[in-house]
Amino acid sequence: MTEAANATFTTADIEGLADLLAIAGEELGLEDLHPNMAARYRGTAAGLAFEGIARTPEAIAEFIALAIEDAGHLDQVAPWVFVRYLDTADDILKRF
């Protein structure tokens, strides 16, 4: 395997990542959300950055889908919703 295949996702820009997640999920930036919702996106961003998730669109999308949809398993997330999270994961990998 290559080094890129073994890479994990990480970023120090939690606020930027949370804002991207909020825009993707709510079509609003963090500053436009209720503080509790903004905190939820910040928590998801921190988890994504520090949990050792593989740096692949599928792994990132799965993490986001489970966190945002409050699902215990990926089977509980509708396929068309998961595709939306794949698009978000692609945006994340391009920016971070």
| pLDDT at site 4 | 55
Question: Dihedral through CA 31, CA 37, CA 40, CA 41, nearest 10?
Answer: -40
Domain residue ranges of the chain, discontinuous segments joined by +? 4-95
Cα–Cα distance for residue pair 52/72, rounded to 1 Å: 19
| pLDDT at site 70 | 86
Helices (H), the chain: 14-26, 35-50, 57-68, 79-95
Query: pLDDT grade, residue 5 (50/70/90)?
Result: low
CB 26 within 8 A of CB 44: no
Note the pTM of the prediction, 2 decimals: 0.88
| pLDDT at site 71 | 86
Q: Which of 77, 21, 76 has the alpha carbon at shortest distance from 48?
A: 21
CB 20 within 8 A of CB 92: yes
Cα–Cα distance for residue pair 9/57, rounded to 1 Å: 10
| pLDDT at site 1 | 44
Query: pLDDT grade, residue 84 (50/70/90)?
Result: very high
Per-residue model confidence as pLDDT tens digits over 15-72: 999 999 999 999 999 999 999 999 999 999 999 999 999 999 999 999 999 999 988 8
